A and B are shown apart, each in its own frame.
Chain A
Amino acid sequence: MNRRLECLGCLLLVLIWTVGKARAAEKSAGELLPASVVAYVEVPQPAKVLDVVFDHPLARQLQQQPEYKAAQQTPQYEQLQAAIQKAEGALGQPWRKAAAEIGAGGLFFGVDLTTRGVVALAAASSEAQAAKGRDAILELSRASAASIKENEHRGVKVHEIGDAGFAAVGNWLVASNKRALVWQVIDNHQGHSEPLAGDEQFQSVLKARTGQPAAWLYADLRLLKLIPGFRQAIDKKSDNPPVELLAGGIIGSIPDAPYVTAALDLNPAGVKLKVALPCKPNETAKKREFYLGGEARGVAPPLLRPQRTLLSAATYRDFASLWRHAPDLFDDGINAKFAEAESNLTTLFAGRNFREDILGNLHPGMRLVVTRQEFPPDGITPAIKLPAGAIVVRMKSPEETAKIFKITFQSVVGFLNVTGGMNGIDPLDLNSEKVGSALIVSGEYLPPRDAAKRKEAPLHYNASPAAAFVGDLFILSSSRALAVELAEQVQREAPASAGVNSSLVLDAAVGQAALADNRGPLIAQNMLEKGHDRAAAEQEIDRVLALLKNLQRSSLQLAVKEAGLELTLEVLLASQP
């Protein structure tokens, strides 16, 4: 078993190296792959991908890490090195050079439904190159595999190792963990069978494609739905509210979607992944109104951008609707928990029914923001500096709901003071103030009794909980300063952009700074979690902080269009010095 895996590994490696040049091969990958392929992946210029990944300054930096160097000492790494050397011997040149010189020919993968196998195709620059690649695989396999059989299929030489097989077919090098797939490719090469390219949907999707991504995926969901149990698994009531909340609308759209595509852009400045799911969002919205809104018109409110924003997220979610439809969305166990939570939360909200009177009085949509906190030099500074966070929601009837929220906020502060008193935590001093047209109620912890603790204050000094009311907006924040800033900002913000259901941005530079604020605690944490002595812990933390400087910004967006859902993930790297 292990041997076979090793073979497959070598096989794939060699495939990457022996990619041929895109000299017009007589048939395309789609024409060679069997019609029963459900997922198709295309890497048009593998050499370029290798260049971006291996020559990136970040990769160099990672190779300097002690963990990487330690991994180089392991026997596994040595085995890998030996295999690479062997392959290079067979190829007659260094592997990167081989790939780079041969140039962009294209690398293709297909996941086959009937055989449950994966097939890889490489378009070589010539028949000779394809044969050279095959011989390199053969060379490597001889070292590790027990028995390699040589057979013929329609006059083409096929090497078989157990279930797996590989062959050179014209300009193509073909390998699969199921030899039957290799045979099918040969069949297609000679025009004896039905190829993936014969599928109309595949053809039209391929045609409509724009741009030149580093990698492109197409998966046929019609076929997937033929797998017994697939539909049931999708339709089954959820037992996981967070997953439902984050992805319910996407999961719910899959049964209607004929296919999904994903395009990956790769360049030295970052990575961008775009996933498109064509479907009828307004159909999905019938069951998951909470996620997409009525007729799938739900729009996320604009992102909040206070100073030192670490993370900002905005999403259209109708929590009242989610709660009301819980019996249709979730299984019995979760519904029992909803019932229990409703009972408890109703007690908390002064006897108002949580589902109807609290959630029911909120407009759909929720915003969340996390910022790095600054502590004034003359004030109290906690030993561990946590970011501040706030959520913003809109009330339907502010005159009534605002009161309930205010009272609840006050009772929570009172409750915290009582329990805090029992646990030796200083009390919160409750204040109420007008800032412009906003009313802000906030609690501030009394300074520590011991003046020496002001610069190394306990954790709870990170918080000065605040509730702000601005028109119909309600802001609940862990810090008064953030509440004040947001209260001002929301009054002059741009309207939400249509078609965006959810978006999230993460500023890694701020995150790095927030971590660096806590260098001391992080070192202590490292001492606790790794057991290192102080010197080793300091080194490790400083290395991690330096590495994190490479990340700049990430964002995630879910757009709802008439034709379907589109998910975009972007990770940007800091420009290199």
Chain B
Amino acid sequence: MQNASRRKFLASISAAASAGLVSLAPRAPGFLLESAALGADRPAGDRILVVVQLSGGNDGLNTVIPYGDEIYRKKRPSLALGADNVIKLERDLGLHPRMKGAETLLEKRWLAVVQGVGYPNPNRSHFESMDIWHTAHTQPQDRAAGWLGRSFDAQRAAGRGSADPPGMHLGAESQPLALAARDVPSPSIRSLDQFQLRVDGDAQRASAIQAAASAPRRQASELLKFVQTRTTAALEISRRITAANQGYKTPVAYPETELAGKLKQVAQLIDAGLSTRVYYVALDGFDTHSDQANAHAGLLDQLAGGLAAFAEDLQNHGHLDRVVTLAFSEFGRRVEENASRGTDHGAAAPVFLVGSKVKPGLIGQHPKLDDLADGDIKFHTDFRCVYAALLAKWLGWPVEPILGEGFAPAAVLQA
């Protein structure tokens, strides 16, 4: 299946290229190289990062659960989950029982759970803390551009721009600051429709447009040549996405949730061969101040189910070894539950990484519940070390100009 679709894809590229329709220079080498040395690692220029933002502050303690811990049970009289319920991990730790999807990912060794991630002097305001995660700057000044946006700028400045936007945000909410850049704009799109030429089902018109756009131009200016190349490439992408949309061939049954829907669209864009390096989606609702149990369970179910289906789908289409997904939240929640059976804003929490190239399993110690800072879990891994790993070891982009000095890449990816 996997090889067959790859072959088809290569065939379509070479056919298009020989017909003089498409300039696939930015994309083709990665694939060709890979097909020449099957099994060899993908070059960094081909790799993709998908960010899933869990907005509102995910309760890390009821996500990766220290079910054996006395303090946990004492501080969480109504919310604590016991050994019978959780999905068991090592060392008296377990995942929330509704994270069935994560169980599958763990079995396949596609899930890394990085524990105790945070930053010094945690800020408990949603906006402030989210800004800190987005900009990777803990100081309020200079929050104009995000860590990814600054990377896009640096790539362009270094002459490594791409045919498609390097970052893309899928969703109806406003664009996350992480993608904001001074020079390189990232589009926010609501659905895949924006990547399809609308011809009202008139195939004849589609081919008329394709032919008219690709017809040779005599005496074309440099600018016209540039636009023509981009137009034919865009029409080709549209054709592929339209074909993929008319029954995107996946044996994977995505759950019928908003997050899974977005991730499926990301999978289609990746499969269509865009040169975009970063995709960004968000799942809101984690601000569970009261009656947390059911609401949180539903969100974790949606998260784990979506991630599992997405990874499975990428694997089926032969992309999993070039895609890593990061799921983070702006902060965890306080150890002690409040009087409304909910939890309030806290500090450090686990982040998740999904992919076939992540270092699977638990990474780092579960934070100690008898050693708190102001009632909150202490961090031991700075989130910028996770970013550093993704920038340097995955995307192949420089770290220090973006994050500053002193953030050694965390060991979250396979060497």
Contact = CB atoms under 8 A, between A and B. Distances in A.
Interface in A343-381: 343, 346-347, 351, 353
A347 B340 CA distance: 8
Given A339-B294, A343-B288, A346-B290, A351 B257 contact: no
A335 B289 CA distance: 19
A347 B299 contact: no
A343 B299 CA distance: 12
A346 B302 contact: no
B336 interface: no
A343 B302 contact: no
Nearest to B296: A343
Interface string B279-304: 00000010011111011011101100
B289 A343 contact: yes
Given A333-B256, A351-B339, A343 B301 contact: no
A340 B340 contact: no
29 contacts: A333-B256, A333-B257, A335-B298, A336-B298, A336-B301, A336-B302, A339-B294, A339-B295, A339-B297, A339-B298, A340-B285, A340-B295, A340-B299, A342-B291, A342-B295, A343-B288, A343-B289, A343-B291, A343-B292, A343-B295, A343-B342, A346-B290, A346-B291, A347-B289, A347-B290, A347-B340, A351-B339, A351-B340, A353-B291
B131 to A, nearest CB: 16
Contacts of B292: 343
A343 B288 CA distance: 6
Contacts of A340: 285, 295, 298-299
B290 A343 contact: yes
Contacts of A333: 256-257
A337 B295 CA distance: 8
A342 B285 CA distance: 12
A337 B256 CA distance: 13
A465 to B, nearest CB: 24
Interface string B294-335: 110111011000000000000000000000000000000000
Interface residues of B, number: 18
A347 B294 contact: no
Contacts of A342: 291, 294-295
A337 B285 CA distance: 10
Contact of A347 (B257, B285, B301, B342): B342
Contacts of B285: 340
A351 B341 CA distance: 9
Nearest to A336: B298
B19 to A, nearest CB: 35
Interface string A307-339: 000000000000000000000000001011101
Contacts of B257: 333
A333 B288 CA distance: 18
Contacts of A337: 298
A353 B340 CA distance: 8
Contacts of B301: 336
A340 to B, nearest CB: 4
A339 B340 CA distance: 14
A343 B290 CA distance: 5
Nearest to B297: A339
A139 B216 CA distance: 53
Contacts of B288: 343
Which of B290, B294, B295, B302 has its CB near the most chain A CB atoms (within 10 A)?
B290
Given A336-B302, A339-B291, A347-B342, 13 more contacts: A336-B299, A339-B295, A340-B298, A340-B299, A342-B291, A342-B295, A343-B289, A346-B340, A347-B289, A347-B290, A347-B340, A351-B340, A353-B291
B90 to A, nearest CB: 30
Contacts of B299: 336, 340
Contacts of A336: 294-295, 298-299, 301-302
B290 A351 contact: yes
Contacts of B290: 343, 346-347, 351
Interface string A418-434: 00000000000000000
Contacts of B302: 336
A263 B269 CA distance: 53
A49 to B, nearest CB: 36
A340 B287 CA distance: 10
A539 to B, nearest CB: 31
A345 to B, nearest CB: 9
Nearest to B290: A346
- List the 9 closest A-B pairs by CB distance, nearest first: A336-B298, A339-B294, A346-B290, A343-B295, A340-B295, A351-B340, A343-B291, A339-B295, A347-B289
A336 B301 CA distance: 10
Residue among A335, A337, A343 with the highest chain B CB neighbour number at 10 A? A343
Nearest to A354: B291
Interface in B332-362: 339-340, 342
Interface in B192-213: none
A204 B59 CA distance: 64
